[in-house]
Amino acid sequence: MIELTINGKAHRVDADPATPLLYVLRDELQMNGAKFGCGLGQCGACTVMIDGEAHFSCMTPVASVRGRPIKTVEGLGTADNPGPLQRAFIEEQAAQCGYCIAGVMMRAQALLEKNPAASEAEIRAGLSPNLCRCGTHARIVRAVRRAGAAMQRADADRQTRGAAQ
């Protein structure tokens, strides 16, 4: 049994330790966010966050992430109550086919958690390991910037409230 912490929740899975995390997420835990795109770490459709960093889950043996915090797009919110990044992607209508989107979002989330004020150039460079084939790049970058701004506002609100107390 391998113990995993995904989106703050503990899971125990029975899987061969060499199994890539991607298949544990999809097969064992029935999660849809991370996608199989290449299995080679070339496209980023499988991207998830591990210890706050973006990783290719198709190349990450499940045994190597035992106990480390894993975050997937399911951890950012729900369709009824979308998180800031999800909300920004909906507001910008930043998808066409959308197969790459969950992976792109997790790389963006890792970037924004470090630097919500990331510039457009920093976002473009940061997202470059991920591929999008539909040509939605410009909308995606706008959505990430929008989410960054929302996160900054939320931080500022928290600080103001903190100072008032």
Partner 1 sequence: MNPPLSIDISRRGLLAGGGALVVSFSMFGISEGIAQTVPQPGAAVPDNAMLDSWIRIDAQGVVTVYTGRTEFGQGVKTAMIQLAAEELNLDPQGVKIVSCDTALTPNEGYTSGSRAMADGGVSVRAAAAHLREILLNAAAPKLGADASELRLEQGRVVAPGGKSVGFGELVADDVMHVKLNRQARLKDPKSYSVVGKEFARVDIPAKVTGGVAFLQDLRLPGMVHARVVRPPSYEARLRSVDTAQVEKLPGVLKVVRDGSYLAVIAQKEFQAITAMRALAAAAQWEEQAKLTDYSRLYEFLQTTPSDKVNVLDTKTTPAPGARVIEATYRRPYQMHGSIGPSCGVGWFQDGKLTVWAHNQGAYPLRQAVSELVKLPEDQIRCIHMEGPGCYGHNAADDAGADAALLAMAFPGRPVRVQWMREDEHAWEPYGSAMVTKARVSLDDTGGIVDWHYDVWSMAHSTRPGGARSMAAAWYREQPLTLPPPRVPSGSESDGNRNSKPAYKLPSARVIHHHVKEMPLRVSALRSLGAYMNVFSIESLMDELAAAAGADPVEFRLRYLEDARAKDVVKMTAERFGWNTDKLPKGRGRGFAYARYRNSSSYVAVAIEVAVEPSTGAVRVPRVVSVADSGQAVSPDGIRNQIEGGILQSISWTLYEQVGFDQTRVTSRDWGSYPILRFSDMPESIEVHVIDRPGQPMLGAGEASQGPAAAAIANAIAQATGARLRDLPLTRDKVKAAMGV
Question: With the CA atoms of 86, 147, 25 and 66 taken in that order, what torsion angle do they form, in degrees rounded to the nearest 10?
Answer: -150
Q: Which residue in 5, 96, 115, 152 binds partner 1 (CB under 8 A)?
A: 96
Judged by CB under 8 A, does residue 43 bind partner 1?
Answer: yes
Copy the structure tokens of residue 154. Answer: 């939320």
Judged by CB under 8 A, does residue 139 bind partner 1?
Answer: yes
Nearest distance in Å: CB 101, partner 1: 5
Nearest to 38 by CA among 98, 115, 99, 91: 99
Q: Which residue in 102, 111, 118, 151 binds partner 1 (CB under 8 A)?
A: 102
Judged by CB under 8 A, does residue 160 bind partner 1?
Answer: no
Judged by CB under 8 A, does residue 61 bind partner 1?
Answer: no
Contacts with partner 1, residue ranges (CB under 8 A): 16, 19-20, 23, 26-27, 30-33, 35-40, 42-43, 45, 72-74, 76-79, 82, 86-87, 89-93, 95-102, 105, 120, 123-125, 127-128, 130-141
